[in-house]
Amino acid sequence: MATGNINVSVENIFPLIKKFLYSDHEIFLRELISNATDATLKLNHLIRIGEAKIEAKHPKIEIKINKEDNTLHIIDEGVGMTKDEVEKYINEIAFSGAEEFLEKYKDSDSKDTGIIGHFGLGFYSAFMVANKVEIKTKSWKDEPAAHWTCEGTTKFSLEESDKTDRGTEIILHINDDEKEFLEDQRITELLVKYNKFMPISIKFGTKEKELPKAEDAKEEDEPKKVTVDNIINNPNPAWTKQPTELEDADYNSFYSELYPTQFEEPLFHIHLNVDYPFNLTGILYFPKLGNDLSAQKDKIQLYQNQVYVTDNVEGIVPEFLTMLKGVIDSPDIPLNVSRSYLQADGAVKKISSYITRKVADKLKSIFNDNREDFEKKWNDIKVVIEYGMLSEDKFFEKAQSFALYPTTDEKFYTLEELKNEISELQTDKEDKLVILYASNKDTQHSYIKRAEAKGYKVVLLDSPIVSHLIQKIEQENEQKVSFVRVDSDHVENLIKKDTEQVSKLSDEEKETVKTSFETVVPKERYTVQLEALDSDTAPVVITQPEFMRRMKEMQQSGGGGMFGMGNMPEM
């Protein structure tokens, strides 16, 4: 039996591993299962290129808990390691076998192997939860099996082992204060979180499965049950397939697989799929959003080679799209780096603008192909679009062609269409087009009625960021259009080409109403206007200069991120 020293430059990394490196001890399991997956994928690759003459079967990874011995076992049927390889790959910590494998086979499509490699500390993260770790491993090469043991110091032992099956078993002797990792429920939770879509089947225990009833079975017969492997993962998740292989129903069922507690179907999906100049796959879903920006429970999940990494995609996905759901899988996103680094990273910037472009293109194509459907969904998706128009100039440009302006008479116009619609009637003295809008159908009801009675179109803009958005649209249109809320005194300045409408009030009545209102309404801020065009419109309205209200609103909602924006204040 050989003993020796693990080759590390740092005096003793183990206390470090245990205390400082990861606050998240649980990621050890992700690392070990990633290694087991890599080992299996490597063997598959060697079989495929004819280097390993072994019959290809369906290899799996198994996780086992032994409560009596306080051990957790991760067992694979992959390439295994010879004694020399253990020396090299395990004892020389700074060495990544994954990188070496890719280097060696780089001429034989090794890119397609899906090898995962390390996220961080790799194998040694086992010592975050175990005081002793054993490796029993038998290589696919015809060599004796090896048995490595290490008790969390730089000393290790390496001897021959009697293991006969090809592959590797990692045995973790779990620390007393990490006993949670010996609970079935905790391990299931971790497997579901990190490994739900990994490419090799992962078995954890068994389960009972009901067999379909035989044709001649009687009503009262108990269904027959069989015991089957409890496979945790779906090795072929939808995002790894080609869009042409999938129907809408497949996308919806993948959505419920991703978010099992989410019962509402998504509105539509966007399949991401690029391999140059970076590699990225994924599926994004537009859920029903409404105006509630805080209702964001199921977030976009980030994967690398089908291993879950995080649900914090800040910096990778533009902020306005973080309200979407779904998955993104890319080996090209650097992990374990700060967010500010991420934002400065060239590849990440490209990824972010690719995603923005794809989303805009998809919205455009739904708008073009099925406008009716798009209009129906508008109110559920508009916050994302409006926020995107506000925050990303590229998106603003593209959104010009599909952003909708619903009117109070329940029609939907694009800005261009709206401009044409109102150009006759709604211009002011400076010849600007005036878009009248309401931000609340109920509280501004009488103002809407009044504007409609005058033959004006009123657009309903009720999302929380509207005051910022209209400012932006005015700018982009070189101030040739201006948005004016229905309760503004500005409405009076519109040039009406039709004949003057006559109020139903007598002069005397007008005077009485006006003076009694003016005693209670502060003159410096509001104007009292009298009108009664028909029995539906109010005889008197109180209006406010548009610029005054807007200034107040901008001050109140401030800049900041979208989730910090309050609701539009009513006057």
Residues found near ligand ADP in the complex (CB under 6 A): 31, 35-36, 38-39, 76, 78-81, 89-90, 96-98, 117-118, 122-123, 168
Q: How far is residue 118's CA from residue 316's CA, in Å, rounded to a whole number?
A: 20
**By CB under 5 A, how many residues form the interface with Mg ion?**
3
**Closest separation between CB of residue 292 and Mg ion, Å?**
41
Give the span between the Cα atoms of 198 and 307, in whole angstroms. 6
Question: What would the DSSP string read from start to end of 432-451?
Answer: -EEEEEES-TTTTHHHHHHH
Nearer to ligand ADP, 89 or 367 (CB): 89
**What is the nearest approach in angstroms of ligand ADP to the Cβ of residue 236?**
22
Distances from the Cα of 374 to the Cα of 268, 324, 362, 369, 447, angstroms: 10, 17, 11, 9, 29
Residues placed in the known binding site: 31, 35, 76, 81, 96-97, 168, 339
Which one of Mg ion, ligand ADP, none is in contact with 168 (Cβ closer than 5 to 8 A by kind)? Answer: ligand ADP
| Sole binder of Mg ion in the list 35, 168, 233, 543 (CB under 5 A) | 35
277: left (phi over 0), alpha (psi -120 to 50) or beta: alpha
Distances (CA, A) of 297 to 1, 293, 300, 437: 54, 11, 10, 32
For ligand ADP, give the closer residue by CB, 79 or 470.
Answer: 79
Q: Give min distance, CB of 195 to ligand ADP, in A.
A: 14
Residue 83 vs residues 61, 159, 503, 570: alpha-carbon distances, Å? 22, 8, 99, 75
DSSP string, 523-569: TTT-EEEE--SSTTS-SEEEEB-HHHHHHHHHHHH-SS-GGG--PPP
**For 306-329, b where at least 16 C-beta lie within 10 A, e where not — what string?**
bbbbeeebebbbbbbbbbbbbbbb
Which of Mg ion, ligand ADP, none does residue 402 bind (CB under 5 to 8 Å by kind)? none
Fill in the per-residue mask, 122 to 151: x = in contact with Mg ion (CB under 5 A), - = not in contact.
x-----------------------------
553 binds, among Mg ion, ligand ADP, none (CB under 5 to 8 A by kind): none
d(CA 173, CA 178): 10
Q: Are 513 and 464 in contact (CB under 8 A)?
A: no
**Which C-beta is closer to ligand ADP: that of 56 or that of 211?**
56
Could you tell me the CA-to-CA distances from 147 to 59, 92, 126, 374, 415 in Å, in that order?
22, 16, 16, 62, 71
Between 93 and 182, name the residue whose CB sits nearer to Mg ion: 93
CB of 135 to Mg ion, least distance (A): 13
Question: Which listed option, Mg ion, ligand ADP, none, makes contact with residue 97 (CB within 5 to 8 Å by class)?
Answer: ligand ADP
DSSP output for 146-181? EEEEE-SSSEEEEEEE---SSEEEEEEEE-GGGGGG
Query: What residue has token string 């206007």?
Result: 529
Of 54-62, 113-121, 265-273, 388-396, the window that binds Mg ion (rule: CB under 5 A) is: 113-121
**Using CA atoms in the order 481, 482, 483, 488, what is the torsion angle rounded to 10 degrees?**
-140
Per rule CB under 5 A, is residue 97 in the interface with Mg ion? Answer: no
Nearer to ligand ADP, 97 or 464 (CB): 97
Choose between 126 and 317: whose C-beta lies nearer to ligand ADP.
Answer: 126
What is the signed CA dihedral for 289, 293, 296, 301, rounded to 10 degrees? 80
Q: Which is nearer to Mg ion, 122 or 318 (CB)?
A: 122
Instruction: Give the residue among 132, 138, 179 at the shortest CA–CA distance from 160.
Output: 138
CB 337, min distance to Mg ion, A: 18
Q: What is the rounded CA–CA span in Å between residue 539 and residue 447? A: 11
C-alpha radius of gyration, the chain, whole number: 33
The one segment of 111-119, 129-137, 311-319, 357-365 that binds Mg ion by CB under 5 A? 111-119
User: Which residues are within 8 A (CB) of 216 and not within 5 positions of it... i.e. 6 or more apart?
Assistant: none
Q: Tell the smallest beta-carbon distance from residue 221 to ligand ADP (Å).
A: 45
Residue with Cβ nearer ligand ADP (32 or 465): 32
* Count of other CB atoms within 10 angstroms of residue 262: 15
539 contacts which partner out of ligand ADP, Mg ion, none, CB within 5 to 8 A by kind?
A: none
Three-point CA angle 396, 400, 401, nearest 5°: 135
Q: Nearer to Mg ion by C-beta: 122 or 237? A: 122
For Mg ion, which residue has the nearest CB?
122
454: contact with Mg ion by CB under 5 A: no
Residue 416, Cβ density class (10 Å: 0-12 exposed, 13-18 middle, ≥19 buried): exposed
Residue (35 or 139) nearer to Mg ion, CB: 35
Compute the least distance from the CB of residue 287 to ligand ADP, in Å: 36
Least distance (Å) between residue 73 CB and ligand ADP: 12
Partner that binds at residue 79, options ligand ADP, Mg ion, none, CB closer than 5 to 8 Å by kind: ligand ADP
The listed partner (ligand ADP, Mg ion, none) that binds 36, CB under 5 to 8 Å by sort, is: ligand ADP
Judge residue 104's burial from the number of C-beta atoms within 10 Å of its C-beta, 0-12 exposed, 13-18 middle, 19 or more buried: exposed
CB of 57 to ligand ADP, least distance (A): 17
HSE-CB of 87 using CA atoms within 13 angstroms: 8
Nearer to ligand ADP, 173 or 449 (CB): 173
Residue 403 binds what, of ligand ADP, Mg ion, none (CB under 5 to 8 Å, by partner type)?
Answer: none
**Min CB(170)–ligand ADP separation in Å:** 6
Q: Is 118 among the residues that bind Mg ion (CB under 5 A)?
A: yes
* Stretch of 114-122, 163-171, 413-421, 485-493 lying at the interface with Mg ion (CB under 5 A): 114-122
- The binding site for ATP consists of 31, 35, 76, 81, 96-97, 168, 339
Query: C-beta of 144: minimal distance to ligand ADP in Å?
Result: 16
Residues that bind Mg ion (CB under 5 A): 35, 118, 122
